[in-house]
Amino acid sequence: MLTKARILSLLFSCMLFSTSALAAQVYHLRLAESWPPNFPIFGESTKTFKQQVEALSGGRLRITIHAKNKHKAPFGIFDMVRSGQYDMGHSASYYWKGKDPNTLYFTTMPFGMTAPEQYAWFYHGGGMQLMEKVYDKYGLLSFLGGNTGNQMGGWFQKEINSVADLQGLKMRIPGFAGEVLAKLGAKPTNIPAGELYTALERRTIDALEWVGPSLDLRMGFHKIAPYYYTGWHEPATELQFLINRKKFASLPDDLQAILRVAMQSAAHDMYARSYHESAMNWAKIRQEYPQVQIRTFPKPVMDALRAANEQLLAERAAQDPLAKEIIASQQAYLQKVRAWTRISDQAYLNALSE
Ligand code: CA
């Protein structure tokens, strides 16, 4: 006959068993990234993310990363995560502008916010909520995936001295900036990282932008193009973790929290790493490749780009209420946050510059 103590002891064993069974359940997520295998900085951020997830979850959540060579579709991440072929992706939101024009506002915008300003907007100024609104209808969740910092304007075979020089210019430049250039007569195109060098070398394109010293140096562009322009088009390029919403919802709460923390941490780490690599590589370029000539677009070119940018934004806002909401949010935030940047970082740097 079972005594009360025996029943309690049996119940306790059952509870222990079910707790340990739960603890032992291991979840797997498959992540596709847009980058070639072992790609520096971008690829390191997914590895950092994987390590953190696996350590924080005590091995209960495992991540498998497939680089471009496995899935063969660097610009197919959106579809593969949406369909469930992959659970997650690491890419850039502005690559999906052909699927939904409103995705492009969540990477960086020409003449827009710098990285600290944009992080403030995403996390505390309503940016994350707007991004969620855009991705919701596709069954996708989008999180920040790491920032490159301010990008260089690109490598050019010829100098750009006037707006007329943009006419017919074949340039690899994705996102909204490509559309701005198209408005001034250029012919923008997007080409995956692995094909950039050959395209510029064979003059399939006249110019390209990739990132900045952090990643441009190892691509070798300085060997095939003499002019390196300062930026206007991608002041704060933020990559993206995409997750299939159903898959995310199927995970226990603690693993969801671990994913969120690990993505945010990997993103922040990528920004720091990008800044570091840019500083180190810029020093190297100055020392080892003095033939590289730094240029800044002349003021009339910058003014024309800016005017085209504003015209395009106004057109977008007039066409689509959600675009209007996102653009209004970014512009209102930029106005406030930039006033602070000017009196803080900019005033500090100006005071030290002469
Ligand atoms: Ca770029």
Given a cut of 60, is residue 16 above it in pLDDT? no
Q: How confident is the model at residue 151 (pLDDT cuts 50, 70, 90)?
A: very high
Domains 26-147+236-276 and 151-233+291-319 share a fold: yes
Residue 354 CA, ligand 1 centroid: distance in Å: 31
Segment holding 19, helix H or strand E? helix 4-24
Residue 105 CA, ligand 1 centroid: distance in Å: 14
Averaged pLDDT score across all residues of the chain:
94
Q: How confident is the model at residue 205 (pLDDT cuts 50, 70, 90)?
A: very high
Q: Which CATH number is associated with domain 151-233+291-319?
A: 3.40.190.10
Given a cut of 80, is residue 7 above it in pLDDT? no
Residue 138 CA, ligand 1 centroid: distance in Å: 25
Residue 174: the pLDDT is: 85
Residue 231 CA, ligand 1 centroid: distance in Å: 10
Q: How confident is the model at residue 338 (pLDDT cuts 50, 70, 90)?
A: very high
Residue 103 CA, ligand 1 centroid: distance in Å: 16
pLDDT digits 0-9 by tens, 269-316: 999 999 999 999 999 999 999 999 999 999 999 999 999 999 999 999
Residue 177 CA, ligand 1 centroid: distance in Å: 10
Given a cut of 70, is residue 167 above it in pLDDT? yes
Given a cut of 60, is residue 80 above it in pLDDT? yes
Residue 11: the pLDDT is: 55
How much helix, strand and coil, in percent to the nearest 5, is found in the chain?
60, 15, 30
How big is the chain by its Cα radius of gyration, in Å? 23
* CATH superfamily to which 26-147+236-276 belongs: Bacterial extracellular solute-binding protein, family 7 (3.40.190.170)
What count of other Cβ atoms lies within 10 Å of the Cβ of residue 3? 8
Residue 57 CA, ligand 1 centroid: distance in Å: 34
Ordered by start, the domain boundaries in the chain are 26-147+236-276, 151-233+291-319
Residue (of 332, 344, 337, 342) closest to 130 by Cα position: 332
Residue 316: the pLDDT is: 97
Residue 22: the pLDDT is: 54
